Amino acid sequence: MRSGSGTAFPAVVLGGAGDDAAVRASGRAWSYRELERAIDEWNRRHHDLDCYDASELELTEALVAVCAAARRGIPVRVENPEARPERRGIPAEAFLLVATSGSTGRPRPLARTAASWYDSFPEFSARTGITAADRVLITGPLHATMHLFGALHALWAGACVTDEPGHATVVHAVPAVLRDVVRAAPRLRTAVIAGIAPDTGALAVAAHLTVMEYYGSAEVSLVAARRIEGAAGATAEPLRLFAGVRAEIRNRLLFVRTPYAVLGAPEWSDVGDLAELDDHGQLRVRGRGDCAINVGGTLVVAEDVEQTLAAVPGVRAVAVLGAPHAVFGAIVTAAVELDPDAELTAVRARARTMLSREATPRRWIPVPHLPRTAAGKVARGALRDLLV
């Protein structure tokens, strides 16, 4: 089987064997022996196809289809069935046919080799501590690449993939869903978080968790990660690049050169985020470059404001955008989900004591729920449409 590097596809897709638990989903448990049989049977039934489609399958069957495609060395689609991207062709080296999350617009088609993920699995295991003894909770659909990556890594490690919080020892989640998951998963020891959250340190203490935050994107996969342990992230490490990944700051924006990029990516990919990188390779990501708001000549980073507002009592979730203004050029607008007993006037008053004048929202819009992608990220494109 082929990979982007021209070497054979990893021979061992499944790290477990025999009666070891492989998948526990929809009320049924599958051993690795049963999963192997299902993969072989899938390939027997679909031997005439040159591309599989797992997009509309439930968790276990989708993983069977993906692993079966890996065995045959053919591509497999894992796309959002409600928003499939248009494809003009499939590269010869492609294994996974996925898409961007669509958080800033329509999902874009992506194709990646097996090696672009599997080559990162050993270091990902070392950083997360995930082993064959773990039961790894997947908190969203597989067409969200963070969930697909987490599930395939778990099977590679010989762990058990599950959709049942009560059995999980590890969870893959975005910050927006982590708090609810923690309440429903008493056996958790590790949370693997896609994206930087303002309060994961506090969650780690409350649930006795080790939190591993990683930064990356569907296009470039893993870029950097850090571990958080202790009260309010007291022992949080800086973000450190993954092996083989190089980063540069150009006009305040982050560019990445990585062996984990999708097919067709440029040598240096513009990730689109404002960032800072010191001489020791420690990375600080400040937020989307297209979410920087120029308020009367002062640059306000939307994610910085969001992190501050998320810490205000009564705020369950928040998203910040810029809105045109005749005098200032732009003003800060905050869409907020509030707790049932929270008062917007009290939230606004507290925010004024925590933010600079330019960064303080001039427009506040309470919403029952922020629009989100399937991966749990705020769908900023949809939010802009709602606020127009």
pLDDT at residue 3 in the model: 36
d(CA 306, CA 295): 16
pLDDT above 80 for 383: no
d(CA 126, CA 139): 22
Return the domain boundaries, the chain: 21-287, 296-387
Give the total residue count for the chain: 388
Domains 21-287 and 296-387 share a fold: no
d(CA 321, CA 329): 13
Kindly indicate whether the domain formed by 296-387 is annotated with CATH number 3.30.300.30: yes
The 10s digit of each residue's pLDDT in 15-63 is 999 999 999 999 999 999 999 999 999 999 999 999 999 999 999 999 9
Residue 167 CB neighbour total at 10 angstroms: 15
d(CA 16, CA 155): 7
pLDDT above 50 for 5: no
Fold of 21-287: Rossmann fold (3.40.50)
Question: With contact defined as beta carbons under 8 Å apart, do 215 and 225 qualify?
Answer: yes
d(CA 230, CA 197): 15
Q: What global pTM score does this model have?
A: 0.78
- Token pair for 95: 């294994």
d(CA 206, CA 203): 5
The 10s digit of each residue's pLDDT in 208-251 is 788 899 988 889 999 999 988 754 444 557 889 999 999 999 98
The 10s digit of each residue's pLDDT in 345-367 is 999 999 999 998 888 999 999 99
- Token pair for 301: 């980073």
